[in-house]
Every structure is written in structure tokens, then in C-alpha cells.
Amino acid sequence: MRDTLPLLEQVPFPAIRRGRLDTLQVNLGYRCNQSCFHCHVNAGPNRTEEMPADVADVVLAFLARRRIATLDITGGAPELNGNFRRLVREARALGVKVMDRCNLTILEQPGKEDLAAFLAVNQVEVVASMPCYLQDNVERQRGKGVFAGSIRGLQKLNAVGYGRDPALALNLVYNPQGPALPPPQAALEADYRRVLGESHGIVFNKLFVLANMPIQRFGTTLVAKGEFEGYLQLLQDAHLDANLDGAMCRNLISVDWRGFVYDCDFNQMLGLPLKRRARQRVHLSELLDEDIAGNPIRVAGHCYGCTAGQGSSCGGALQEAAE
Ligand code: SF4
Ligand code: SF4
């Protein structure tokens, strides 16, 4: 696979620095029951990288010591990691809000029959990928059978109270099929609510609209099709300085399965670690007693994916989030 980093590093992006850290995003590994076309971590069933127990211990120590408000758990399918439930339980016991980036089909994998109930009991916010409300579009991006499995997953979550009980948030994530900016979040959310409600009886809280990042599998495909420069130009032309403050890297760090720290998940996938003073990369265990506010953020051309148009962060469109 062709690495898009050398191309992205040639593209200047405004300098930004970290603000106050409130979210720890941890990637528990790259194993996943799916292998989606747009996956920016190249996850799949044959990946073996997984966060071990001693790194999960560091995550819990960091949450407690730095008084972090939110633990955002991602993967792969993070629920496949043997430390997932311990991390959730212990983080919740610390009073930390926990988010699970769930692919929905995991809810019906063998051995995961009680997963929806576990998430509900622990009041975990579920953020679920659902790239469209139409079967063809979902399956083109995520594979055959994924749409029906995702619908069943959403119904399971609804059945245990998600989307209905105010303590059980169920948010969906949309990203475009190809090299285009996402449509306005509010209008698309209304369409999702209508179609998923009328056709499948599904309720949810919010739709997060995210731009596709020109990295990993998606970036490589753009390069192969000769569309990489055009997509990057589209993102750059739509850049708004007003979106810089809301970029998720200002308040979040991303931790890989080995415990190394990045300014965001995208930088993690590009192999761009957070730099701290003379250190070219740092382990989470080295930051237990260190405040990294003010640290420069490592930026490159892919960052326009966060600042183009309505903006894009792990909580969806920035412009609408600010309203
Ligand atoms: S479900 Fe998510 S992590 Fe798994 S392959 Fe698809 S995009 Fe990647
Ligand atoms: S990709 Fe987005 S979140 Fe990551 S460093 Fe760039 S602006 Fe920040």
C-alpha cells in the first residue's frame, strides 16, 4: 500500500497548539470483524495488534491521575480486546464518561450476545458507524451483509434503552462514499431519522458527519485513481480558520495499542507521534505527571479534512456543534 504521508507533508497547514486535555482516545488494536473500504486504520479480521493488559493499566492510571473527563475507545472493533470490559468498568468507577466506537455488526458476533446489555448497564455512549441509511451505499463501503447486521445491531441497542433513555446516548457516524465533502449535518440527520424510523423503527440521538481523510486505504485508492491531488485541493479550498479552534487534537490525545501517544487518531495511523520537547515520541506512562497544554500539534495536509467546510471532528460537524 502506498503511504500518503510524503505527499501530505508537502502541504502547509496553519500552526496550532494544544489546549486543555479532556479526552483520552485509546485504540485497543486493529482486529475487526469487518474490513471496510474507507477504514483509516486498515483494520480487519487478520490483524493481530492488540493493547495488552499492562498498557490498559497505564490508561486507567492516566485517567485517574490527570482527571480526564472522557475515555473514547476505538479500534478495530475495540470490543474484541480482552481488556475492553475492564477498561469500561474501571473508567466508569472513576466517574469518567466512556464512549465506544462500535461497528454495530460486532453486537451479533459469537460471544458478544450480552454486549448491548453490558454497554447499557455501564452507561457507555455508543458511537456507531452507519455511512448511509440505504443498503447499497452501506454495503459498497463496508461489505455485503453489513447493512442488515447494522440494522439488527441498532435494534438491539434500542431494545436495551439506547436512543430512548437520556442516560444511553446512541450517535451515528456518516462519511461520504468518495472524494467529496459531506453534506450539511442537520439536513442529513433529519433524513436518517425519518428513513431509519419509518423503515426499521430505529431511534438515535445525533448524526455525526465526518469528512474522509486522505490517508491509509482511502488515501491509497485516491492516489491509484489519480484523485488524490484533486481531493486535497477540494479540502484546502473549503478550509475555514474558524474551524481550527474546534479541531479535536486541541483537547484530545490518541493512544495506540502499545501506549504511544499522538495528537489524534489520524496522526496515529500516519505514524506521526506527538513530539514533546526533545522527545520524538512519548509513551502515555511518561505523561502521568506532565501537563501538555501548549504543546505544538503535528499538522500536515490531511488536517484540512478537519477544517474544510462545516468542519469535522470525532463529534461531527464543528460549525453545528458550536451552534
Ligand atoms: S468497522 Fe471500523 S475499524 Fe472495522 S474495518 Fe470498518 S471502519 Fe475499520
Ligand atoms: S488531522 Fe485534525 S485532529 Fe489530527 S492533528 Fe490534524 S487538525 Fe488535528
Residue pair 296/169 in contact by the 8 Å Cβ criterion = no
Cell of 271: 505514524
Q: How many CA atoms lie within 13 A of 117 on its CB side?
A: 4
Q: Return the minimum-mean-pLDDT range out of 176-185, 280-289, 300-309.
A: 176-185
Which atom of ligand 2 is least distant from the CA of 264?
Answer: 4
Please report which confidence band the pLDDT of residue 312 belongs to, taking 50, 70 and 90 as the band edges: low
- Nearest by Cα to 146 from 100, 105, 192: 105
Q: 37 CA to middle of ligand 1, Å?
A: 9
Check residues 312 and 187 and name the one with the higher pLDDT.
Answer: 187
Judge whether residue 316 has pLDDT over 80: no
Q: 108 CA to middle of ligand 2, Å?
A: 33
Residue pair 301/7 in contact by the 8 Å Cβ criterion = yes
Q: What is the pLDDT of residues 32-41, one digit of tens each?
A: 998 877 677 7
Please report which confidence band the pLDDT of residue 155 belongs to, taking 50, 70 and 90 as the band edges: very high
Eight-state DSSP code of residue 239: B
Measured between alpha carbons, how far is 31 from 75 in angstroms, rounded to an integer?
7
What is the arithmetic mean of pLDDT over 228-246?
A: 94
Ligand lying closest to the C-alpha of residue 101: 1
Ligand 2 contact via 248 beta carbon (within 6 Å) = yes
Q: 18 CA to middle of ligand 2, Å?
A: 11
Ligand 2 contact via 130 beta carbon (within 6 Å) = no
Judge whether residue 318 has pLDDT over 70: no
What is the arithmetic mean of pLDDT over 88-96?
A: 98
pLDDT at 49: 95
Judge whether residue 226 has pLDDT over 90: yes
Q: What is the pLDDT of residues 262-272, one digit of tens each?
A: 999 999 989 99
Ligand lying closest to the C-alpha of residue 142: 1
pLDDT at 82: 96
Please report which confidence band the pLDDT of residue 323 belongs to, taking 50, 70 and 90 as the band edges: very low
Report the sign of the C-alpha dihedral through residues 142, 145, 147, 151, in that order: negative
pLDDT at 129: 84
Cell of 71: 475515555
What is the arithmetic mean of pLDDT over 76-84?
A: 97
Burial readout 108-124 (b: 16 or more C-beta within 10 A, e: otherwise): beeebeebbebbbeeeb
Most informative mutation of 236, 267, 298, 312 for ligand 2 (most atoms within 8 A of CB): 267
pLDDT at 136: 76
pLDDT at 42: 80
Measured between alpha carbons, how far is 208 from 316 in angstroms, rounded to an integer?
4
pLDDT at 31: 95
Ligand 2 contact via 244 beta carbon (within 6 Å) = no
Ligand 2 contact via 11 beta carbon (within 6 Å) = no
Q: 306 CA to middle of ligand 2, Å?
A: 6
- Nearest by Cα to 265 from 249, 247, 280, 277: 249
Judge whether residue 28 has pLDDT over 60: yes
Mean pLDDT score across all residues of the chain = 91
Ligand 1 contact via 141 beta carbon (within 6 Å) = no
| pTM as predicted | 0.93
Ligand 1 contact via 104 beta carbon (within 6 Å) = no
Judge whether residue 274 has pLDDT over 60: yes
Measured between alpha carbons, how far is 27 from 37 in angstroms, rounded to an integer?
19
The three-state secondary structure class of 200 is: helix
- Nearest by Cα to 38 from 182, 239, 200: 182
What is the arithmetic mean of pLDDT over 274-288?
A: 95
pLDDT at 216: 82
pLDDT at 322: 42
Ligand 1 contact via 175 beta carbon (within 6 Å) = no
* Atom 7 of ligand 2, residue of closest alpha carbon: 303
Residues in the chain: 323
Q: 258 CA to middle of ligand 2, Å?
A: 21
Ligand 1 contact via 146 beta carbon (within 6 Å) = no
What is the arithmetic mean of pLDDT over 197-220?
A: 91
Alpha helix ranges (H) inside 160-278: 185-200, 216-224, 228-237, 265-270
Q: Which residue pairs from 316-320 have beta carbons closer than 8 angstroms and sit at least 24 positions apart in sequence?
A: 316/171, 316/173, 316/185, 316/206, 316/207, 316/208, 316/209, 316/210, 317/182, 317/184, 317/185, 317/208, 317/209, 318/243, 318/246, 318/247, 319/242, 319/243, 320/184, 320/185, 320/186
Measured between alpha carbons, how far is 42 from 100 in angstroms, rounded to an integer?
19
Residue pair 267/247 in contact by the 8 Å Cβ criterion = no
Q: Return the minimum-mean-pLDDT range out of 26-30, 238-242, 251-255.
A: 238-242
Measured between alpha carbons, how far is 130 from 119 in angstroms, rounded to an integer?
18
